[in-house]
Amino acid sequence: MNVQIQPEIAIKQGRQSILILKKLLDTKNNPIMIKRKRYIEYGDWITLANFYGISVKTHEAEPVEIFDTRGFKARADLIKIENGTIIGGAEAYCLDNEKNWKHKDYFQMASMA
C-alpha cells in the first residue's frame, strides 16, 4: 500500500528527523572528523532510516578486476522493516588504482567497498 504524503508534511517530518538525529550525534564519543567536519557513520544512517521503517541489508564484498585494476565491489539493499521488501539499493567499488587505496591490504579495500 503506497501512502502519499503531502510535500509540506514530508519536509516538516524530515526536519524533525534531522533535529532528533543531530541530538543523538551530539552525544557521541569520538565522532569521525575529517578537516574539522563531522561525518555521519554507518550506524547513524541506519538510525535515520529506522525513523522511516527502513533498514539495510549488506552483501559480501566480491573481488573484481576491471581493466587490470583489482579491488572489491559491494552491494547494499534498502529494505522495509515491516515485510523485508527491497525498495532500493546500490553498488560501490574500491579499487587499487585510487590514490588512497593503492597500497592498502585487500581486507581494507573490501571493508571500504
Q: What is the pTM of this model?
A: 0.69
> Is residue 3's pLDDT more than 80?
no
DSSP class of 25: H
On whether both 106 and 57 belong to a single domain, the answer is yes
Note whether 32 and 59 are same-domain residues.
no
Same domain as 94, residue 65? yes
3: which 3 cell numbers? 501512502
- CA dist list (Å): 63 to 58, 60, 89, 96: 15, 10, 19, 11
For 23, the domain range is 1-52
Number of domains in the chain: 2
Q: Using one digit for the tens of pLDDT, what is the confidence trace for 57-110?
A: 999 999 999 998 999 999 999 999 999 999 999 999 999 998 888 888 888 888
59 with 31, same domain? no
How high is the pLDDT of residue 33? 84
**pLDDT tens digit sequence for 37-53:** 888 888 888 888 998 99
Question: pLDDT by residue (tens digit) across 77-90?
Answer: 999 999 999 999 99
31 with 75, same domain: the answer is no
